[in-house]
Amino acid sequence: MLIVAFVIMMDEIHEAFSDYCLEMPLIILEDDDAAVRMVMTGTHTAPFQGISPTGRKVRWEVLAHIKFKDGLIEEQETFRDWMELMSQLQWPASTH
């Protein structure tokens, strides 16, 4: 079920940010654990989370802790600051 939600979210991101790019500048592996720092960038060219396209270039970071078992992902925790992304899109919209 979590995989389906992840795929849906990534589809929405790819559709909303036309030049979406994901970089992983830091990956730390130890035994069956991995810590990953991801930097995502893109230009907001289609609706995203109810926000009309702004044309703004955005950048946000995600941290993930991944546990493996028998070479497969057993557990994943992802930490993201959605408010950082939303503030770059200037959400909520100013009422002035």
CATH number at residue 43: 3.10.450.50
Per-residue pLDDT tens for 19-58?
A: 999 999 999 999 999 999 999 999 999 999 889 999 999 9
Range of the domain at 39: 2-83
So what's the pLDDT on residue 93? 61
So what's the pLDDT on residue 91? 73
Residue 7 has pLDDT above 50, yes or no: yes
Per-residue pLDDT tens for 48-81?
A: 988 999 999 999 999 999 999 998 888 888 898 8
Q: Is residue 28 part of a domain?
A: yes
**1 band by pLDDT with thresholds 50, 70 and 90:** very low
Q: Is residue 13 part of a domain?
A: yes
Q: Is 42 exposed, middle or buried (0-12, 13-18, 19+ CB in 10 A)?
A: buried
* pLDDT, mean over the chain: 89
Q: Which one of 6-10, 63-67, 89-93 scores highest in mean pLDDT?
A: 63-67
So what's the pLDDT on residue 94? 53
**CA atoms of 28 and 66, how far apart (whole Å):** 10
Q: Is residue 48 part of a domain?
A: yes
Q: Return the ∠ at Cα 52 (arms to 9 and 14), rounded to 5°.
A: 30
**CA atoms of 86 and 92, how far apart (whole Å):** 8
The domain total for the chain is 1
